[in-house]
Amino acid sequence: MFEFHKDRALYFQHQTLNTTRYVIPFIEAATPLKPGCRVLEVGSGEGGVLKAFVDRGCYGVGVELEEPKVNVARAMMADDIAAGRAQFFVKNIYDTDVLSELGGPFDLIVLKDVIEHIYDQEKCLALLKTFLKPGGSIYFGFPPWQMPFGGHQQILHSKFLSKLPYFHLLPMPLYVGILKAFGERPKGLIEIKETGISIERFERITRRTGYRITNKKHYLINPIYEFKFKLKPREQYPIISKIPYLRDFVTTCVYYLITPRA
């Protein structure tokens, strides 16, 4: 586990800066963010991502399962909440009514490092379509499952395992055995292994649920690594991005913007 995983204020700042410098420009390359547009973040965590949109003049709503994270978000964005620029809810998105609880549909929905944690991702995409205004879009940023640290092993307490690439791809019994041997609690990591998503699967379920891709970008070096590890972001080589399956193993992050087909 790295220090930024423990320092929630620093993590909040990293998320806000990353969103401002990379996520918002990516979105605006396809659709501009107008003042007052409604933005929903699913899995909003401590609110760092949503903060960047609120600072751009958007109205932000965060939905998050873990109450301690929501408490941090409410503290970090207390001024925005008091001014009526943001709200946070401890909710499961599958049990949320967009009209009665969230105030109506949204211009933009954001899932940053979230889709790879959700069970039944196809069901999720179908549901989110009903949360959008006409012409609305959904942004996804996630690490392909097969990438070197797609198992989120960087959060482990073991310094050796936290820096060991690809071992999350081992068969489940062997993977769990290694985690236990190093004193780790495997439950959360097992869930990530069960829900991890590849580039191919993501593109396939977007088509099946009636979306079209309006922008996409694959990264060899994830932009968030600039803040975490002082590494310069680098887009994936175009030829690699075009090779199915191989690209998943050497692409550390992908950005997608999708919108429902007419």
- pLDDT tens track, the chain, 262 positions: 445 455 778 889 999 999 999 999 999 999 999 999 999 999 999 999 999 999 999 999 999 999 999 999 999 999 999 999 999 999 999 999 999 999 999 999 999 999 999 999 999 999 999 999 999 999 999 999 999 999 999 889 999 999 999 999 999 999 999 999 999 998 889 999 999 999 999 999 999 999 999 999 999 999 999 998 899 999 999 999 999 999 999 999 999 999 999 8
Q: How far apart are CA 142 and CA 111, in angstroms?
A: 8
Q: How far apart are CA 91 and CA 99, in angstroms?
A: 14
Dig out the tokens for 257 from the structure: 């913007």
The CB-based long-range contact list for 96-101 (8 Å cut-off, 24+ gap) reads: 96/63, 98/130, 98/131
CB 198 within 8 A of CB 144: yes
pTM: 0.95
- The DSSP secondary structure of 127-144, one letter per residue, reads HHHTTEEEEEEEEEEE--
Dig out the tokens for 144 from the structure: 């392909």
Q: How far apart are CA 211 and CA 77, in angstroms?
A: 33
pLDDT attached to residue 6: 59
pLDDT attached to residue 28: 98
pLDDT attached to residue 219: 98
The candidate with the shortest Cα–Cα distance to 162, out of 150, 153, 175, 152, is 153
pLDDT attached to residue 4: 46
Q: How far apart are CA 40 and CA 138, in angstroms?
A: 9
The one-character DSSP state at 183 is T
Dig out the tokens for 84 from the structure: 């009526």
**Edge-to-edge strands of the sheet including 86-90?**
86-90, 59-64, 38-42, 106-112, 132-142, 253-260, 211-221, 234-235
The structure tokens 């998320």 sit at 15
Q: How far apart are CA 126 and CA 206, in angstroms?
A: 9
Amino acid at 23: V
Taking the CA atoms of 42, 43, 44 and 49 in sequence, report the sign of the dihedral they define.
Answer: negative
